[in-house]
Structure 1
Amino acid sequence: MAAVDNETGSRDGWRGGATTRLEAFVDAAFAFAVTLLVISAERIPDSVESLLVALKQVPAFAAGFALLALFWYAHVRWSRNYRLDGAIATLLSLLLVFLVLVYVYPLRLLLGTFFAWISGGWLPMPLSNITGAKQIAFVFYGLAFASMPACMGGLYLLAWCRRARLGLDDGAAATAAGEVAAYVYFCAVGLLSATVVLLLPAHAAPWQVAIPGSLYFLLSLTGLVHMLGRRAALRRLGGVAVQEAANA
């Protein structure tokens, strides 16, 4: 059976049951962002041909939906696990909402471009002037992608700094530190991709153009980064405990 939190009576380690107004607002904003990724944004398909074109956008829609869901669920887990309020937590959550709504458009363009590229043009290409637009879109995407994990990292850093007030044990506090490390790594990958785009020559070879997007495969190492950050936090907390025992 799921464990029951002693403080609130909630299950699975959640600290609260009722949804706050801020959480409801964040949920609604993410839902609105998903609607901007709909299959056919211009008009409802009125023929078999236009329906097929719309359906070809499903892979890009699914990938974009998965990325938005990733950040939405990250905020859900943070909200339920720590139940922090105050000016800093509110501002970071609202900034995350703002960035999500800005992030939707380059996300849709780049994912559509990616699937058109790997399908050899069978899937529709959303960018008409791909030579000039791709670089701008990749830089914008990298900056937006780095900004959203920065917000989540800030929220988990706030939980780490207030671990005593929240009554977190060493394991829970170390998990928050691991989340901070993981989101810092997310930021680094996004900024690295944007930097590589800016360093590409004007007439880059196809393999060079593929480098910025390929760098996002480094995110597969996020679990390792989280584990290392958690272990480092546990060592620090253990050292603090030993020092406090010595002082006593």
Structure 2
Amino acid sequence: MQPLSDSFIEQCKIEDGFRLRGENMTRIEVFVDAAFAFAVTMLVISIDQIPTSVPELIAVTKQIPAFIASVVLLMWIWQTHSSWSKRFGLDDTATVVMSVLLIILVLIFIYPLKIMAMGMFGWLTNQYLPSSFDLNSWNELRFMFSYFGIGFSAFFLLFLWMNKHALKHKESLKLSLFEQHDTQTYIYVRYWLVVIGLVAAAIPYALPDKWVPFSGFVFTLISLVYFFVERRQKNKWDTINKDNTSQ
């Protein structure tokens, strides 16, 4: 790709110390946004029909927490892609391929995401918030956890690839030292999120039946990953700054 001009870099808005090189939406980003909007619509219309009585309305209302949880996770994925697009503004062939892969993953995993959310709330509330998805054995539950874990890893493996691709073009994008460091931090975080997803996919098969429902608690490690990786990277950046200042 052609290097960005200094005049363009200077006029880019700065957010969290990062120049936003892609504030103007590309056609592929518009397409991705439309796909995410469609995915949210799929979550809404997963109700078979409009309620025709109060009991049916109550039954539908009990699905709201699972719907909200699904949308929150979906919006996390969307925001991750949106932030990447704004920061780097890439519009090359690799970006198109990665964006299309993201759309495919969203459309594949949107229903399993809703199913797992319903199952989680059903388990936490002793079926007061029921799940309409039937599981007939512990192995089927193991399969669902593995399916979700693999999907989770696939998303963040893709985001890891996106950030590595952007870092590969650091000269053309004229990334500052801080921007390179921040991108590397994103890569480290995404790497550990991929690992967490794979652990979540494998651990149900290592647990006895009665402990399988607790497999999902592996995802609580996400907050620890963010805390420790970002803390480590911040300390590393402070050291770099100190060394540059002393020179």
Q: For residues 72 and 9 of structure 2, what CA distance do their matches in structure 1 show? A: 34
Which letter maps to 1:73? Q
Q: How many Å apart are 1:63 and its aligned residue?
A: 0.6
Q: 1:64 aligns with which of 70, 91, 94?
A: 70
The two structures have a TM-score, normalised by structure 1, of 0.85
1:170–1:237 Cα contact (<8 Å) kept: no
Q: Secondary structure at the match of 1:37?
A: helix
Unaligned runs of 5+ in 2: 1-7
| Alignment check: 8 A CA contact 2:26 2:91 kept | no
1:160 aligns with 2:167: yes
Q: Quick one: distance in 2 between partners of 1:43 and 1:237? A: 60
Please state if 1:228 is matched with 2:223. Answer: no
Q: Which of 81, 94, 101 pairs up with 2:87?
A: 81
- For residue 96 of structure 2, give the secondary structure of its aligned residue in structure 1: helix
3-state SS, counterpart of residue 229 of structure 2: helix
Deviation at 1:232, TM superposition (A): 5.4
The corresponding residue for 1:29 is 35
Shift of 1:10: 4.1
Q: Is the 8 A contact 2:147 2:201 kept in 1?
A: yes
SS in 1 for 2:43: coil
SS at match of 1:211: helix
The answer on 1:94 being equivalent to 2:100 is yes
Higher relative CO (Cα under 8 Å, sequence separation at least 6) belongs to 2
What secondary structure does 2:187 align onto?
helix
User: 2-side partners of 1:229 and 1:89: how far apart?
Assistant: 27
Q: Does 2:141 correspond to 1:138? A: no
Q: Percent identity of the aligned residues? A: 30
Match of 2:5 in 1: none
Deviations 1:33-81 (A, max 9, x none): 1112217521111111111111101111111100000010111110011
Structure 1: unaligned runs, 5 residues or longer: none
Higher deviation after alignment, 228-237 or 93-102: 228-237
The aligned length equals: 234
SS of alignment partner, residue 210 of structure 1:
helix
Deviation of the 1:11 alpha carbon: 5.8
Aligned partner of 2:214 in structure 1 is 211
Q: Determine if contact 1:174/1:234 at 8 Å carries over to the other structure.
A: no
Which residue in 1 is equivalent to 2:188?
181
Q: CA-atom RMSD, angstroms?
A: 2.5
Mean alpha-carbon deviation: is it higher for 228-237 or for 163-172? 228-237
Change (3 A) 1:80 1:18: same
CA separation of 1:53 and 1:86: change in aligned 2, threshold 3 A = same
Match of 1:106 among 104, 112, 129: 112
Q: In structure 2, do the counterparts of structure 1 residues 162 and 93 end up closer, same or farther at CA, with 3 Å as the change threshold?
A: same
The partner residue of 2:203 within 191, 196, 201 is 196
**CA shift at 1:127, angstroms?**
2.1
Q: Distance in 1 between matches of 2:124 and 2:63?
A: 13
TM-score (norm 2): 0.85
Q: In 1, Cα distance between the equivalents of 2:107 and 2:75?
A: 13
